[in-house]
């Protein structure tokens, strides 16, 4: 076994099948056999191509299952934990099962490795809502106000910002500045939620950009209706859900607004048996896999960008590594841009 490679349990088919059924609630035998065949090919190719697979929590269950459970992912997590895992990986090649800004972030932090995104169509409405030029214009309108960018931004936007934050560390980052005014981009709902929850604590004015996530902005009356139909359930809401929904739901129902990691921790510590999820539908599969004795219900809204990544194009990416076709999926960035985008990311990591 090469260094950095996770050995595959000889019992992997049984482990994968159990975990997959736990996460999905069931599937046809035909689909399961196809998946097992693809998983086996990926196990072999990862060794042959010296590759690590990083998978976001919004990926389909077959990509989220980790090698310890017979699956293909060396690490499953949120965007920052995946990029940090990329820096620690010993493999020369990283296949990033997430969206473009995440694969870019992994490349910015790990320039000694090749990072591959299995489908270039995996973008993000939030990242695409703002450009580096927009940030420059905001700076001109609010001179002296530091710019904090959520990690869900493209590299050319990151390069124009002072520091990056995630939904996990946003307030800690905001409090690290003495300035009374801060520019926060690009998610207006996350900004409003942060102001609502921590405004008094930080005592700062947040200047927001008008970006939003096409998935989380859809959690409106649907969540409120579910809480009325399931009064014993607790509620799990992501920071990117509109503030009006968060306020109205959490005024009447026990639960949390937070990052994906906060949501996972909350479920682990709660004695409740039923939860209503206000985040991407496949996070529900993650939760079912981690907490099989709890029940999760959701309006089930999928991110169409995330679903551009499939087990088939992940397999194809591995097949292309080391061939002239690999450039199709390789993240390539101008070195000057990479260096400039690295600075605000490194500041965040040093502060976290
Ligand atoms: S869920 Fe929202 S923020 Fe995440 S990739 Fe999809 S569009 Fe972007």
The pTM is what?
0.93
Task: Output the CA 306–ligand 1 centroid distance in Å.
Answer: 7
Return mean pLDDT, the chain. 94
Alpha helices, H only, the chain: 12-24, 29-49, 61-64, 79-88, 100-109, 132-141, 155-158, 170-175, 188-202, 221-229, 243-252, 260-269, 281-290, 311-320, 335-351
Any atom of ligand 1 within 6 Å of the Cβ of 303: yes
Partners of residue 234 on adjacent β-strands: 275
Report the pLDDT value the prediction gives residue 214, as an integer from 0 to 100.
Answer: 96
Q: What is the distance between the alpha carbons of residues 122 and 214, in angstroms, rounded to a whole number?
A: 13
Helix (H, G, I), strand (E, B) or coil at 77: strand
Report the pLDDT value the prediction gives residue 352, as an integer from 0 to 100.
Answer: 77
Q: What is the distance between the alpha carbons of residues 88 and 103, in angstroms, rounded to a whole number?
A: 15
Report the pLDDT value the prediction gives residue 3, as an integer from 0 to 100.
Answer: 39
Average pLDDT over residues 270-291: 97
The band of 6, judged by pLDDT with boundaries at 50, 70 and 90, is low
Mutate to test the pocket of ligand 1, among 57, 100, 126 (most ligand atoms within 8 A of CB): 126
Mutate to test the pocket of ligand 1, among 303, 304, 308, 309 (most ligand atoms within 8 A of CB): 303
Query: Over 70: is that where the pLDDT of 4 sits?
Result: no
Average pLDDT over residues 185-201: 87
Any atom of ligand 1 within 6 Å of the Cβ of 152: yes
Q: pLDDT of 317-334, one tens digit each? A: 999 999 999 999 999 999
Mutate to test the pocket of ligand 1, among 103, 124, 187, 241 (most ligand atoms within 8 A of CB): 124
What would the two tokens of residue 327 be? Answer: 């450039």
Report the pLDDT value the prediction gives residue 225, as an integer from 0 to 100.
Answer: 94
Backbone region of residue 50 per phi and psi (left: phi > 0; alpha: psi in -120 to 50; beta: other values):
left
Written out in words, the top-level CATH class of the domain with range 12-120+307-332 is: alpha beta
* Closest Cα to atom 6 of ligand 1: 303
Question: What's domain 216-297's superfamily in CATH?
Answer: NadA-like (3.40.50.10800)
Query: Over 50: is that where the pLDDT of 100 sits?
Result: yes
Q: How many helices (H) and strands (E) in the chain?
A: 15, 12
- Atom index in ligand 1 nearest the CA of residue 123 equals 5
Q: Percentage of residues in the chain with pLDDT exceeding 70?
A: 98
Q: pLDDT of 35-68, one tens digit each? A: 999 999 999 999 999 999 999 999 999 999 999 9
Any atom of ligand 1 within 6 Å of the Cβ of 306: yes
Burial class (CB within 10 angstroms; exposed 0-12, middle 13-18, buried 19+) of 176 = middle
The yes-or-no answer to whether 127-211 and 216-297 have a common fold is yes
Any atom of ligand 1 within 6 Å of the Cβ of 214: yes
Average pLDDT over residues 84-110: 95
- Residue spans of the domains in the chain: they are 12-120+307-332, 127-211, 216-297
Query: Over 50: is that where the pLDDT of 163 sits?
Result: yes
The band of 2, judged by pLDDT with boundaries at 50, 70 and 90, is very low
- Atom index in ligand 1 nearest the CA of residue 305 equals 6
- Atom index in ligand 1 nearest the CA of residue 58 equals 1
Strands (E) across the chain are located at: 51-56, 75-77, 93-97, 114-116, 147-150, 163-165, 181-185, 205-208, 234-238, 255-258, 274-278, 295-297
The band of 197, judged by pLDDT with boundaries at 50, 70 and 90, is confident
CA 116, 6, 348, 109 torsion-angle sign: negative
Report the pLDDT value the prediction gives residue 111, as an integer from 0 to 100.
Answer: 84
Report the pLDDT value the prediction gives residue 7, as an integer from 0 to 100.
Answer: 65
Query: Over 60: is that where the pLDDT of 313 sits?
Result: yes
Question: What's domain 127-211's superfamily in CATH?
Answer: NadA-like (3.40.50.10800)
Q: pLDDT of 214-253, one tens digit each? A: 999 999 989 999 999 999 999 999 999 999 999 999 999 9
* Closest Cα to atom 5 of ligand 1: 124
């Amino acid at each position: 076994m090469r260094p950095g490679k996770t050995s595959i349990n000889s019992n992997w088919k049984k482990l994968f099948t159990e975990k997959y059924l736990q996460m999905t609630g069931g599937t046809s035998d035909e689909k399961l056999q196809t998946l097992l065949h693809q998983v086996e090919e990926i196990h072999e190719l990862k060794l042959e191509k010296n590759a690590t697979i990083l998978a976001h929590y919004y990926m389909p269950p077959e990509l989220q299952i980790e090698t310890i459970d017979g699956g293909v992912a060396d690490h499953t997590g949120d965007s920052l934990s995946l990029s940090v895992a990329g820096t620690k990986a010993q493999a020369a090649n990283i296949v990033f099962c997430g969206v473009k800004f995440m694969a870019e972030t992994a490349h910015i932090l790990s320039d000694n490795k090749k990072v591959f995104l299995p489908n270039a169509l995996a973008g993000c409405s939030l990242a695409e809502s703002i450009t580096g030029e927009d940030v420059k214009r905001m700076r001109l309108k609010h001179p002296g106000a530091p710019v904090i960018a959520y990690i869900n931004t493209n590299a050319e936007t990151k390069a124009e910002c002072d520091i990056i934050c995630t939904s996990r560390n946003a307030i800690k980052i905001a409090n690290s500045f003495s300035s009374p005014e801060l520019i926060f981009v690009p998610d207006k709902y996350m900004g409003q939620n942060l102001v609502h929850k921590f405004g008094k604590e930080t005592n700062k004015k947040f200047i927001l950009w008008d970006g939003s996530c096409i998935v989380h902005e859809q959690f409106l009356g649907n969540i409120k209706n579910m809480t009325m139909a399931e009064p014993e359930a607790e509620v799990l809401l992501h920071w990117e859900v509109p503030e009006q929904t968060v306020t109205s739901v959490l005024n009447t129902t026990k639960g949390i607004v937070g990052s994906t990691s906060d949501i996972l921790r909350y479920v682990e510590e709660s004695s409740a048996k039923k939860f209503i999820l206000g985040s991407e539908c496949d996070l529900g599969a993650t939760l079912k896999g981690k907490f099989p004795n709890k029940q999760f219900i959701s309006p089930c809204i999928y991110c169409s960008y995330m679903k551009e990544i499939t087990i088939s194009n992940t397999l194809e990416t591995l097949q292309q590594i080391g061939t002239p076709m690999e450039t199709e999926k390789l993240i390539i960035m101008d070195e000057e841009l990479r260096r400039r985008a690295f600075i605000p990311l490194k500041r965040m990591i040093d502060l976290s």
